[in-house]
C-alpha cells in the first residue's frame, strides 16, 4: 500500500491514491485538477522517502470534487450572575479533494483496481422476517 503525507492548510494529512479527503478551502474551481508540492513523506511498498522538510520533485495530484461547509460549531459564552450571554456559530469552508496520483522520481503511484473498486454486499437477512 502506497501513501504520502502532505501539508495543506497548516495541517498534515496522510493520503492514498483513489481516496477523497476534506481539506481546508482551496482557491480553485470545482472539477479542476490541483497539484500539491508540499510532500513530507512517501511510502511505496518497501521504500520510504522522508523530506527535510519537503521532498524535492515530489507532488500529489488530485481533482477538486466540491466546495462545501463543515459541521456547525457552537460557541457559547456566559458570565454567571450577570445577564450576559453570547451564542455564536461557525461553519468552516472545506474542499473535498480526490487524490489521483502521487509523483516521485519519475514514478507515478495511482490507485490499483483492488482499492478503487468497492463491492456492495446486500444483507438478505431482513427480507426473511
The overall average pLDDT reported for the chain is 87
Q: pLDDT at residue 119 above 50?
A: no
pLDDT at 114: 41
Q: For the chain, what percent of residues have pLDDT higher than 70? A: 87
CA distance 16 to 14: 7
What is residue 115's three-state secondary structure? Answer: helix
> What integer is the mean pLDDT of 27-39?
95
Q: pLDDT at residue 102 above 50?
A: yes
Whether residue 70 contacts residue 80, with contact meaning beta carbons closer than 8 Å, is answered with: no
Q: pLDDT at residue 111 above 70?
A: yes
Of residues 82 and 110, the one with the higher pLDDT is 82
Amino acid at each position: 500500500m502506497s501513501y504520502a503525507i502532505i501539508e495543506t492548510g497548516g495541517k498534515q494529512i496522510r493520503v492514498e491514491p483513489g481516496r477523497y479527503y476534506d481539506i481546508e478551502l482551496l482557491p480553485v474551481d470545482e472539477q479542476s485538477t490541483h497539484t500539491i508540492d508540499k510532500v513530507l513523506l512517501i511510502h511505496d511498498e518497501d521504500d520510504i522517502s522522508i523530506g527535510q522538510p519537503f521532498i524535492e520533485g515530489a507532488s500529489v495530484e488530485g481533482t477538486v470534487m466540491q466546495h462545501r461547509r463543515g459541521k456547525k460549531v457552537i460557541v457559547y459564552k456566559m458570565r454567571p450572575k450577570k445577564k450576559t450571554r453570547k451564542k455564536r456559530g461557525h461553519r468552516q469552508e472545506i474542499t473535498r479533494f480526490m487524490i489521483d496520483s502521487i509523483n516521485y522520481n519519475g514514478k507515478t503511484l495511482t490507485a490499483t483496481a483492488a482499492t478503487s473498486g468497492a463491492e456492495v454486499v446486500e444483507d438478505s437477512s431482513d427480507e426473511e422476517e
